[in-house]
Structure 1
């Protein structure tokens, strides 16, 4: 799994799910929370079906009633685990849409029961629309808050700073564009997404993806030939 600007609540079916941690496989229950990543994570299994619920990092902990953290993988106790049996049967029977509808209904109801912080919501929307390229002062100005107040509330809710999440959002855009259009000019992508230059993009990309953008592009081209 490559980093992006989301946390994910991951349900898995049909096999054992493990994460490679310090060279050892650690089994994971279903569901578990995959937090924000700053490098790729390898999930190892023979055969696995996954449904991932993508969440904004500034809302996921309130949604689950958990304190925020920077854990890459988090195992938690929550009534949501009661969905596992029904979802497993639906997936096994090939009724994927029914499984998704059940999850959508559950999370829609769960969201309606928690207070939404309008400052964080609006800040997140501004960051998303700018593809992570908006400086924090501009984000704060967009939501009529001071930088200090925004940073404090953002860190409390997500465990991360605005800069941390913005960097992941921008990497996500680069990753998606190079995977979908591997013949794109890396220099043009760097300019489009507000990097200082191609070298800046390459350093950030390798930090998050573990490989240089050129190697990632070659892999994307090979995948499209299959």
Structure 2
């Protein structure tokens, strides 16, 4: 049996969510034993996921934990493995880390968050029903409407954090905190404290995660890309620095990750 990609795609978020949501996505796939395991690496974003089917997450301890129909990929410091069997349909929203806690109203976004509260559970029931019926776009529209209704009103402290986070994101982690703080009328310490309170990580750690996420996405899109050129483009001092930093988060080098991506593509193209 060949893996069948039923639908797959991502799109920009609703215009009023663009400063908080990086992307929305839909994906559906029939998994075979050769394609049921998916390497999940740390990244710069917090991802809200809704799905139909059967999925488990294996952490560093190797123990598989069944996932409920709605959960959140929170802050992760080590790679893990998502196991999906049979047909799965997924709707997901990737949020900027410094916005996610106030949008989702979940205080602790560490690891895989399955205790999402009654409001998200109720939304999950509606979204999963739509996914089951093949209504992926309608499912994402419901999620966006739910998020729009929770957008907070103006808050000077949060606006400073948002401005700093977006500058880090748009500069691929290259922005420096001192000039940002001065521009926002804050001391470096004040901005760092506010940012860490909102994002759960320091601006420096956020910059590292943004560069790592960009590298990961580029390799996933093209595992044959020149790693030396990619290291230069993303602002690493050299390829050795790129290798060390990537391995520190992923547990494998960029070259090894590219090989994982190639192997996964071969498995998807082969009969089950």
Q: TM-score, normalised by structure 2?
A: 0.74
User: What is the CA distance between 1:145 and its match in structure 2?
Assistant: 2.3
User: Are residue 11 (structure 1) and residue 50 (structure 2) matched?
Assistant: yes
User: What is the CA distance between 1:124 and its match in structure 2?
Assistant: 1.0
Residues of 2 paired with 1:73 and 1:122: CA distance? 27
Residues of 1 paired with 2:154 and 2:183: CA distance? 24
User: What is the CA distance between 1:96 and its match in structure 2?
Assistant: 0.7
User: Are residue 162 (structure 1) and residue 200 (structure 2) matched?
Assistant: no
Greater percentage in strand: 2
Q: CA deviation digits over 1:140-189, x for unaligned, max 9?
A: 34534221011111111122111111111000111122222333322222
Aligned partner of residue 237 in structure 2, secondary structure:
coil
Q: Aligned-residue CA RMSD in angstroms?
A: 2.2
Task: Structure 1 unaligned segments of length 5 or more: list them.
Answer: none
Instruction: From 77, 99, 117, give the equivalent of 1:59.
Output: 99
Counterpart for residue 237 of structure 2: 196
Residues of 2 paired with 1:185 and 1:40: CA distance? 23
Aligned partner of residue 92 in structure 2, secondary structure:
strand
Q: CA deviation digits over 1:185-211, x for unaligned, max 9?
A: 222221221112111100111122222
Residues of 1 paired with 2:130 and 2:230: CA distance? 41
Aligned partner of residue 181 in structure 2, secondary structure:
helix
Mean CA deviation greater in 33-42 or 97-106: 33-42
User: What is the CA distance between 1:222 and its match in structure 2?
Assistant: 5.1
Mean CA deviation greater in 59-68 or 165-174: 59-68
Instruction: From 58, 64, 83, give the equivalent of 1:44.
Output: 83
Aligned partner of residue 8 in structure 1, secondary structure:
strand
- TM alignment of 1:1-226, pairs within 5 A: 1-15=40-54, 17-21=55-59, 22-47=61-86, 48-68=88-108, 71-74=110-113, 75-112=115-152, 115=155, 117-221=158-262, 226=269
User: What is the CA distance between 1:35 and its match in structure 2?
Assistant: 0.9
Q: CA deviation digits over 1:13-52, x for unaligned, max 9?
A: 122x322132222223232221122222212231332222
Aligned partner of residue 104 in structure 1, secondary structure:
helix
Q: TM-score, normalised by structure 1?
A: 0.88
Aligned partner of residue 57 in structure 2, secondary structure:
strand
Alignment: residue pair count: 224
